[in-house]
Amino acid sequence: MVLKVTPRTPGADASGLYRRPRIVLQPKNVEDIPAILGKPKTYPTPVRAVGADYSQTRCVGGDGGTTIDMGTLDKILEFGENTVRAQAGVRVGTLVRALTERGLELPLTPEIGQISLGALAVATLPQASHTVGVAQMSSCVTELKLITPQGKQMTVTERNRDLMRVLKSSFGLLGLVHEIVLRVRPLTPVKMEYQDLSLKEFAARFAAIIEAPGALRLHISPFNDRVTVERRTLDEAMGASRSGMWQIRNSVMRNVLPAFGSTVGSVLSAPGLRTAVVSGVQRALRATLDRAARGVVLYAHELMRDLPQEAWKSRYTYSLWAFPQADFPRLLGEYFAFCKAYFKEHRYRCNVVNGASRLHQDRGSLFSVSYSGPMFTLEPSSTGDKGWDDFLIDFNDFASGLGGTPTFNQTRALQPEHVAKAFGDRAKLFRALRQRTDPMNRLHNSYFSHLLG
Ligand SMILES: Cc1cc2nc3c(=O)[nH]c(=O)nc-3n(C[C@H](O)[C@H](O)[C@H](O)COP(=O)(O)OP(=O)(O)OC[C@H]3O[C@@H](n4cnc5c(N)ncnc54)[C@H](O)[C@@H]3O)c2cc1C
């Protein structure tokens, strides 16, 4: 039996276009899904899956159709030595905590816990990576079970590499995923070290920075001309006791993290601080770096945070493009100049420290942003204040012009020409496959129709 719930916001927007679904359904069992797909008169097209609804774009896109909220399929089914099997509605934070209790973790741990496993398998979620081949969350997936647009059950494993690659970029357009198997490994301590550099210093040391082992996350302040390099090295040999770890963890939470990811939530939740975010965060960043200079050790899951229950309440928003690693210092120089020129002309600048992650090459999914080689993301971030939307329109042209690659779920205000330029034949291949597998467009929405045809 499916449960019908009221859409979270009303139907049509000012333009008269239906942005929201007419019906939202919560399946109790997997068997409910083929029944929904088979009744277009009762359950209007498009049928779209929604996980946590945290994407930065309209990729879920209800369009006056039927949205299936996968959150009710929320069971972790089986823990193995090297894998875990779970339903699509399980949140990654829930899974990561359950794995931790068993001394296990995912090969990549995202920084927010809300992401649903269904979205993790089919959307683009790049993460600061340690090795070639594992730079996107979907690369942790070894098996998928889905219901096709025709209502058929399908199981796909790593043995069918080509099909996996397409499904891992399918955004609910080729089927609704209900069960996932993910690779796991023993919990491994991570050593975190920081270097605070000017852009010039960053460029001069770039070759050494990318040569040394470890995952790289950058914290970028265009107006202060600073790039803080955060290096996360897996420390398999480290024998720190659990209590020792907790001491270190507490000091990280108190002294270091407030300056990075978690700042965003804490700084923004204080009333009246919104306008002080830029300078406040950047000052905090510098003040805490000395204390972190010797490096701290923690487990990856301790970096994970939970955003508010509803995405729109987080008051923190960002957009994401990726650029080839080889040219990244030059690209950053151009970005700093772009930000300064934009501010001069429009009096707008991003009011949250910008992030970036180094991605190793990963061909595990068709729309992987590091499909062609190693990349760095660039993530302008803001509280979504006045001027942000216009800034992104110009930033997108800047990014596309310099050979950037966007995502469908984390790059805002994307246009078809950006997609065609970045993905070329990969976009054409996906379009042809989608048309063949879903000729009635049962799962197709206006967002993807606009961007991919
Ligand atoms: C403030 C904020 C901060 C964030 N920070 C980070 C971060 O640091 N790192 C990070 O990796 N992400 C981050 N994200 C999340 C990122 O934006 C993801 O795009 C998003 O959360 C994906 O997970 P979801 O469950 O919300 O997917 P949804 O938005 O619900 O869905 C994404 C796409 O997947 C499809 N889909 C969902 N479930 C299924 C299914 N079962 N079968 C088929 N298709 C399905 C949907 O139709 C849609 O096209 C952040 C998001 C916000 C709002």
- Give the per-residue pLDDT at 106: 97
With a pLDDT cut of 90, the percent of the chain lying above it is: 71
- The per-residue pLDDT for 94 is 96
Question: Quick one: pLDDT at residue 235?
Answer: 79
Q: Are residues 138 and 227 in the same domain?
A: no
What ligand 1 atom has the least distance to the C-alpha of 73? Answer: 41
Ligand 1 centroid–CA 69 distance in Å is: 13
The DSSP bridge partners found for residue 255 are: none
Residues 298 and 407 in one domain: yes
Closest CA to 41 of 8, 16, 60, 66: 66
For residue 175, give both structure tokens.
């089927």
> CATH code at 86?
3.30.465.10
Domain containing 81 equals: 73-186
Assign residue 384 a region (left: φ > 0; alpha: ψ between -120 and 50; beta: otherwise): left
Rounded to whole angstroms, what are the CA distances from 316 to 28, 274, 311?
33, 10, 9
* Per-residue tokens: 268: 């923004």
pLDDT at 260 over 70: no
The pLDDT-based confidence of 159 (bands split at 50, 70, 90) is very high
pLDDT average, residue stretch 187-210: 94
Give the three-class secondary structure for 401.
Answer: helix
| Residue 397 belongs to some domain of the structure | yes
Closest Cα to residue 4, out of 31, 34, 36?
A: 36
Residue 73 has a pLDDT of: 97
* Contact criterion met (CB below 8 Å) for 181 and 143: yes
pLDDT confidence of residue 424: 95
Query: Residue 315 pLDDT > 50, yes or no?
Result: yes
Residue 310 lies in a domain: yes
**367 and 281 share one domain:** yes
Residue 34 within any structural domain of the chain:
no
pLDDT confidence of residue 271: 37
Q: With respect to residue 251, please indicate whether it lies within any of the assigned structural domains.
A: yes
What confidence tens digit (pLDDT) does each residue in 66-92 have? Answer: 999 999 999 999 999 999 999 999 999
CATH of the domain at 269: 3.40.462
Whether residue 356 contacts residue 378, with contact meaning beta carbons closer than 8 Å, is answered with: yes
**Which comes out higher in pLDDT, residue 282 or 398?**
398
CA dist 332 and 198 (Å) reads 11
Judgement on whether residues 223 and 122 belong to the same structural domain of the protein: no
Using the 3D structure, point to which of 414, 431, 446 is the last residue of a domain: 414
Give the SS3 label for residue 288: helix
Protein residue with its CA nearest to atom 11 in ligand 1: 125
Residue with tokens 């729309």: 367
Nearest CA to ligand 1 atom 13: 112
Q: Give percent above pLDDT 70 in the chain.
A: 81
Residue type, 453: G
CA dist., res. 423 & res. 344, Å (int) = 33
Which of 115, 315, 359 maximizes ligand 1 atoms within 8 Å of its Cβ, making it the mutation to test the pocket?
A: 115
Q: Which residues line ligand 1 at a C-beta cut-off of 6 Å? A: 48-56, 59-60, 70, 88, 110-112, 115-116, 118-119, 122-123, 125, 171-172, 176-177, 307, 311, 314, 316, 409-410
| Mean pLDDT score, 193-197 | 89
| 66 occurs within a structural domain | no
- Mean pLDDT within 154-171: 96
Q: How many domains does the chain have?
A: 2
Across 222-339, the runs of DSSP E, i.e. the strands, are: 226-234, 296-299, 317-318, 321-324
Specify the pairing of strand 23-26 against strand 153-157: unpaired
**Arithmetic mean of pLDDT over the chain:** 86
Do 207 and 182 fall within a single domain?
Answer: no
Using only C-alpha atoms, what is the Rg of the chain?
22
Last residue of a domain, one of 166, 186, 206: 186
For residues 164 and 208, membership in a common domain is answered with no
Distance (Å, whole) CA 194 – CA 344: 31
CA distances from 293 to 131, 221, 225 (A): 25, 19, 20
Query: Of 186, 206, 224, which marks where a domain is finished?
Result: 186
Please choose from 32, 47, 55, 75 the residue to mutate so as to test ligand 1's pocket, defined by most ligand atoms within 8 A of CB. Answer: 55
Pocket test for ligand 1, best of 50, 170, 450 (most atoms within 8 A of CB): 50
**Is residue 437, in this structure, part of any structural domain at all?**
no
Q: Return d(Cα 220, Cα 129) in angstroms, integer.
A: 18
430 in any annotated domain: no
* Cα–Cα distance for residue pair 72/5, rounded to 1 Å: 12
Give the lowest-confidence range in 97-111, 204-218, 233-247, 404-418: 233-247
Q: State the pLDDT at residue 20.
A: 84
> Over the range 187-198, which residues count as b (16 or more CB within 10 Å of their CB) and which as e?
eebbebbbebbe
Together in a domain, 161 and 195: no
Q: Are residues 213 and 169 in the same domain?
A: no
Same domain, 331 and 255: yes
Q: Are residues 149 and 193 in the same domain?
A: no
Instruction: Compute the distance between CA of residue 100 and CA of residue 105 in angstroms, rounded to an integer.
Output: 6
* Amino acid 275: pLDDT: 39
User: Which residues touch 50 (CB under 8 Å, ≥6 apart)?
Assistant: 24, 60, 67, 68, 69, 70
Residues 386, 263 within the same domain: yes
pLDDT bin (cut points 50, 70, 90) of residue 353 is: confident
Do 163 and 193 belong to one domain? no
Q: Which residue has the tokens 């928003």?
A: 317
pLDDT for residue 237: 67
In a domain, 37, yes or no: no
